[in-house]
Amino acid sequence: MKIIILSKGEECFVSDEDYDILNKHKWYARKSCCGIYAARGIKIQGVVHIIRMHRVITDCPDDLIVHHKDTNGLNNQRDNLEIVTTKMNAIYRNMEKIKTIQPDEESVNFVQTLQQIQQEITQQIGLPSHLLTGEL
């Protein structure tokens, strides 16, 4: 793993095999709706196009998305990048949001109460518990 220093001193992590090619260019930290990513601008026929480092590393097709497994947009090591569909990326993003939810005491108590009721019902009517939980 090597570090590329971005324009305002931010650090971007890349795999050793990508360092020499990527470090030939100036990169900056670009904020987007989903995080901060290493990017650079190139001018083509007078129009500036934004190139994101993770897409260069993976050679990702335009119709797919590069997912950062650890959710750090500045960690562009190959083993942290995965090419996914838009749908799969949305699933990953929602999974990360769920992980950050801290249940309050009331919601924990509610879930525990539901579990107790579920156990009582299965015991009273003699059903295997997996029929109510959906688990096998």
Structural domain includes residue 26: yes
pLDDT for the residue 92: 81
pLDDT for the residue 136: 46
Parallel/antiparallel/unpaired status of strands 47-52 and 81-84: unpaired
Structural domain includes residue 41: yes
pLDDT for the residue 24: 96
The one-character DSSP state at 78 is G
Structural domain includes residue 121: no
Domain count along the chain = 1
Structural domain includes residue 69: yes
Distance CA(89)–CA(49), nearest Å, equals 23
Using a cut of 0.85, tell me whether the model's pTM lies above it: no
Burial label, 36 (beta-carbon count in 10 A; 0-12, 13-18, 19+): middle
Contacts of 55 (CB under 8 A, 6+ apart): 66
Structural domain includes residue 89: no
The 10s digit of each residue's pLDDT in 74-109 is 999 999 999 999 988 888 877 776 666 566 666 667
* Spans in the chain with pLDDT lower than 70: 97-108, 110-111, 114, 118, 120-136
Structural domain includes residue 7: yes
